[in-house]
Each structure stands twice: as structure tokens, then as C-alpha cells.
């Protein structure tokens, strides 16, 4: 593996492997003690964190980052508190390492059991979201994995401070600081090495824009878990409850438009369009949402601007929404199959048959009935925090928490048995 022989990040990967071997046999109690130290450090050093974050925000504004990206980059006292709370929540969760998934005795008396074990070394490549640094470090620590982080340069100052706090908290309880490392100083070359470090990195998780994920997927020789990109749909069925439609569409689009579970395309059954669209879209307009509608939408709601083909596959990550009228549930499912990134889709309906068809035939990480798409989230699902939301089918799908950062091994106990 010539790439991994490079002098650049090899020492970091070797330190990560050594740290991972230590973590694999570290009792849960000590890992929890480290998590409490991390939470305390976050609250105790809030001003230091915010100062570094202010630098990044200033630079980001200067470099013309979008409102969505700036929101993802922003930390404030409340968000730091929420981060510390998430870390404490993770300390309360069951340690997945050592969990017996299944087991049996074979006819010959050999006993087999499948047991959860940490991956070992987890690489994460993400964009300018400082909260990801803490979430992932905490989840990796609790699940017994060492992490090598490559954050976006736009968050470089914030992440440097955060990683420093994390490493100090680890050392304080006698765990290797190398359980959490950053390769940001190595720039793009470091990221490329990380993607090629097969055998040194057990799994690589890209978290961010579709472009970032595509780049990692195509360049990486390390097994990858894809996350994030979400062209999220809601379908308002003929029988949809008006109040639910208004509230769920508004919440899905407006509550936090910059994240991957936010609504991007609204589909409406033609038989319900006139009944539902005026109120649903008016509430969005009140909140400053730009609507991209097809012709039938604009007949009902002329304020919508004409939608282009591109709109149906766009993840706006802001206060914009594509809206189309469809003839049937089948057309809605066909539209979703064509344009969805397989993240989250929701149907608003009172028809149990249509609900079950939607749940069964839409092939996405999360499929919903009469609920906001914003619920596809590790915290909401009770995972404490999340590594990301997997939109691939391999290993993990949907919000990834602690068990999703483990592998398994088969333990086989015999008493001299041989195969006949």
C-alpha cells in the first residue's frame, strides 16, 4: 500500500491503531468518565470555543459562505450546551461493544456466538460543522473506536480548539489522546491519504454535501458509509388532513432548512391540490420560502415561480421548495424513485392502504406517515447523537448511533471437534 507509506499521516494512523487497541479493552466506566470530562470541558471553555468560532464565521462571511453553511458553522452558548448534553446522553447509553447479537450450539456441540466489537480506526471527512467534531468523537469513544477527523477548512479554528479540549479530557482519565486526532493541518493531501489508507482505516465516513460524498466514494479504497445528501419529499395524498399537511410541511421545510432531513420537494395529489395547496403554501410564503411550482401548482398558487427540471433534484438547504401536482400515488412514488436520494420521504394521508403502499414501495432510509421529515435524526430516535445519516444500504441505513460504529466477530468454542 504505497500511499499509506507516505510520511505524512502514517504516524497519526499508527497512533490511532494503538489507541484503538487500548480502547477495545477499556471498561465502559472509564469511557463514560472521559465523556463526563469532555462535557465539562465544553461548558468550561465555551468562551474559548466561541472566540475561535467567531474567527471562522468572520472568514466565512468574507468568503461569501451561504446562509445555510454559515448556520451549520455557527456555535453559540446554547449549541455548546446542547453538544455537552449530547455527550452526557451518550455516556448514559449502553456500550455496544461486547453485546452478543446471536448465538447457538451446533449439532456437534460447538458453541458459536456473534459479538459486537469496535471497528477500530474510523476516518471521518466532513464540512464546516463543528458540532460533528464533538458528536463523532463522543460516539466513537463510547463504541471503542479511535477517530481520525478531517473537518472543513472553514471550521479550522473551532475544530482545533475542540480537538484540543477532547484530547486533554482523554489524557486526564488516562486514555490515549490519539483516540481523537485531526489531520486538518495536512490539507487536501492528508484527506487523499486517508481515503487510500486501506488496512489502516477500517471505515471512512464522509459527512457533508453530495459533492464531498461523491468525491470520497469514488476516490476511497477504504470501505465507506455514505451519509447525508437529502432530496427529501412529502406527498400530500388525496385524503390528507389539512391541518397536518400545513404543520408538517412547514415544520419539515422551515424549522431548520440547512440540514439534510429538511423538505426539498412537495408533491400533491391532483384531487387534493385545490383544497390543500393554498393554506400549505401560504404558510410557507409567510416564512419567506421561495416556491418553485409546476404549471398546475402555479394555476392554484400564482406566487410560485416556474419550476425547472433541475429543481426536482436540487437540495436547496435553504428557504426554497419545489412543488408539483401528481395524478396519483403511483405517480408520486415514480417521481420519488426518479429524484430521491433515498434519505427520507413522508406521506400525509388518512388512507391506510395508501400509507402501507408508500411505506412498502418507497425505498428510502426513512419512510414516514403523517410525521415531519425532521424526525430522521439520531437524537430524535434516542441514539443520543449521530455520526450521520446513512443513505446507503450497506451496514447502516438512516441515523447512525453507537451500534452502527461497531462490527462483529464470531466466537467459536469447541472441545476438540473436527469437521466430518
Of 182, 192, 265, 376, the one binding a copy of itself by CB under 8 A: 376
Q: Should residue 120 be labelled a site residue for a copy of itself when binding is judged by CB under 8 A?
A: yes
Q: Should residue 110 be labelled a site residue for a copy of itself when binding is judged by CB under 8 A?
A: yes
Between 86 and 366, CB nearer to a copy of itself: 366
Task: Kindly write out the interface string for residues 229-268 of this chain, putting x where it contacts a copy of itself by CB under 8 A and - elsewhere.
Answer: ------------x-xx--xx-xxx--x-------------
Of 69, 367, 385, 402, the one binding a copy of itself by CB under 8 A: 367
Specify the DSSP element, H or E, that contains 295. helix 295-300
Q: Should residue 4 be labelled a site residue for a copy of itself when binding is judged by CB under 8 A?
A: no
Contact between residue 125 and residue 74 where contact means Cβ atoms under 8 Å apart: no
Q: Smallest gap, in angstroms, from Cβ of residue 407 to a copy of itself?
A: 4
Task: Kindly write out the interface string for residues 189-208 of this chain, putting x where it contacts a copy of itself by CB under 8 A and - elsewhere.
Answer: ---------x---xx-----
Contact between residue 273 and residue 297 where contact means Cβ atoms under 8 Å apart: yes
Of 366, 387, 400, 402, the one binding a copy of itself by CB under 8 A: 366
Q: Interacting stretch for a copy of itself, rule CB under 8 A, among 111-119, 231-239, 283-291, 299-307?
A: 111-119
User: Which distant-in-sequence residues (6+ apart) come within 8 Å of 268 by Cβ?
Assistant: 235, 236, 276, 277, 297, 323, 324, 325, 326
The whole-angstrom separation of Cα 385 and Cα 241 is 32
Q: Should residue 338 be labelled a site residue for a copy of itself when binding is judged by CB under 8 A?
A: no
* DSSP label of 106: -
The whole-angstrom separation of Cα 383 and Cα 363 is 23
Residues 9-28 that bind a copy of itself (CB under 8 A): 24-25
**# of chain residues touching a copy of itself (CB under 8 A):** 69
The x, y and z cell numbers of residue 246, run together, are 400545513
The whole-angstrom separation of Cα 386 and Cα 143 is 12
Q: Smallest gap, in angstroms, from Cβ of residue 203 to a copy of itself?
A: 6
Between 116 and 298, CB nearer to a copy of itself: 116
Phi, psi of 352 (to 5 degrees): -65, -35
The whole-angstrom separation of Cα 141 and Cα 170 is 10
Q: Should residue 346 be labelled a site residue for a copy of itself when binding is judged by CB under 8 A?
A: yes
**In the β-sheet with 146-150, what is the strand arrangement from edge to edge?**
180-182, 146-150, 121-126, 203-207
**In the β-sheet with 290-293, what is the strand arrangement from edge to edge?**
305-306, 290-293, 320-326, 263-269, 232-236, 344-348
DSSP letters, 62-81, are HTT--HHHHHHH---HHHHH
Q: Should residue 223 be labelled a site residue for a copy of itself when binding is judged by CB under 8 A?
A: yes
Task: Kindly write out the interface string for residues 381-420 of this chain, putting x where it contacts a copy of itself by CB under 8 A and - elsewhere.
Answer: xx---------xxxx-xxx-------xxxxxxxxxxxxx-
* DSSP label of 288: T
Q: Should residue 330 be labelled a site residue for a copy of itself when binding is judged by CB under 8 A?
A: no
What's the distance, CA 419 to chain centroid? 45
Burial class (CB in 10 A: 0-12, 13-18, 19+), 14: middle
Q: Should residue 209 be labelled a site residue for a copy of itself when binding is judged by CB under 8 A?
A: no
Phi, psi of 187 (to 5 degrees): 60, -155
Of 70, 117, 168, 215, the one binding a copy of itself by CB under 8 A: 117
Q: Should residue 218 be labelled a site residue for a copy of itself when binding is judged by CB under 8 A?
A: yes
Between 171 and 219, CB nearer to a copy of itself: 219
Task: Kindly write out the interface string for residues 34-53 of this chain, putting x where it contacts a copy of itself by CB under 8 A and - elsewhere.
Answer: --------------------
Q: How many CB atoms lie within 10 A of CB 36?
A: 15
Between 122 and 134, CB nearer to a copy of itself: 122
Between 299 and 357, CB nearer to a copy of itself: 357
The whole-angstrom separation of Cα 250 and Cα 165 is 38
The contact set with a copy of itself (CB under 8 A) reads: 24-25, 104, 106, 110, 112, 114, 117, 119-120, 198, 202-203, 217-218, 221, 223-225, 241, 243-244, 247-248, 250-252, 255, 346, 359-361, 363-372, 374-377, 380-382, 392-395, 397-399, 407-419
Amino acid at each position: 500500500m504505497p500511499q499509506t507509506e507516505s510520511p505524512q499521516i502514517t504516524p497519526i494512523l499508527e497512533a490511532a491503531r494503538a489507541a484503538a487497541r487500548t480502547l477495545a479493552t477499556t471498561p465502559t466506566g472509564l469511557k463514560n468518565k472521559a465523556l463526563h470530562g469532555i462535557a465539562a470541558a465544553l461548558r468550561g471553555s465555551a468562551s474559548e470555543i466561541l472566540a475561535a468560532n467567531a474567527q471562522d464565521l468572520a472568514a466565512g462571511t468574507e468568503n461569501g459562505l451561504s446562509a445555510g453553511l454559515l448556520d451549520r458553522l455557527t456555535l453559540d452558548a446554547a449549541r455548546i450546551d446542547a453538544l455537552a448534553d449530547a455527550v452526557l446522553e451518550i455516556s448514559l447509553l449502553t456500550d455496544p461493544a461486547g453485546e452478543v447479537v446471536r448465538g447457538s450450539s451446533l449439532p456437534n456441540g460447538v458453541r458459536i456466538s456473534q459479538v459486537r466489537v469496535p471497528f477500530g480506526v474510523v476516518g471521518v471527512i466532513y464540512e464546516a460543522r463543528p458540532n460533528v467534531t464533538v458528536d463523532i468523537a463522543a460516539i466513537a469513544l463510547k463504541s471503542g473506536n479511535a477517530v481520525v477527523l478531517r473537518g472543513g477548512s472553514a471550521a479550522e479554528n473551532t475544530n482545533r480548539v475542540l480537538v484540543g479540549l477532547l484530547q486533554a479530557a482523554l489524557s486526564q482519565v488516562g486514555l490515549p489522546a490519539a483516540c481523537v486526532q485531526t489531520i486538518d493541518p495536512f490539507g487536501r493531501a492528508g484527506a487523499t491519504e486517508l481515503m487510500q489508507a486501506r488496512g489502516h482505516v477500517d471505515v471512512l465516513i464522509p459527512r457533508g454535501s453530495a459533492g464531498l460524498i461523491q468525491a470520497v466514494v469514488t476516490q476511497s479504497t477504504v470501505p465507506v458509509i455514505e451519509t447525508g445528501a437529502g432530496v427529501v419529499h412529502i406527498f400530500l395524498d388525496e385524503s390528507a388532513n389539512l391541518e397536518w399537511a400545513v404543520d408538517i410541511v412547514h415544520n419539515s421545510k422551515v424549522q431548520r432548512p440547512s440540514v439534510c432531513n429538511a423538505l426539498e420537494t412537495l408533491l400533491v395529489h391532483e384531487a387534493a391540490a385545490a383544497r390543500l395547496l393554498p393554506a400549505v403554501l401560504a404558510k410557507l410564503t409567510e416564512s419567506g420560502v421561495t416556491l418553485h411550482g409546476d404549471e398546475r401548482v402555479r394555476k392554484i398558487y400564482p406566487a410560485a415561480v416556474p419550476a425547472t427540471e433541475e429543481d426536482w433534484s436540487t437540495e436547496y438547504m435553504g428557504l426554497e421548495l419545489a412543488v408539483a401536482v401528481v395524478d396519483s400515488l403511483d405517480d408520486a412514488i415514480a417521481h420519488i424513485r426518479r429524484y430521491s436520494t433515498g434519505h427520507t420521504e413522508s406521506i400525509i394521508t388518512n388512507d391506510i392502504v395508501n400509507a402501507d403502499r408508500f411505506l412498502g414501495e418507497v425505498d428510502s432510509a426513512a419512510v414516514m406517515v403523517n410525521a415531519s421529515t425532521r424526525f430522521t435524526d439520531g437524537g430524535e430516535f434516542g441514539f443520543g447523537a449521530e455520526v450521520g445519516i446513512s443513505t446507503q444500504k450497506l451496514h447502516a441505513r438512516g441515523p447512525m448511533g453507537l451500534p452502527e460504529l461497531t462490527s462483529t466477530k464470531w466466537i467459536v468454542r469447541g472441545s476438540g471437534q473436527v469437521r466430518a
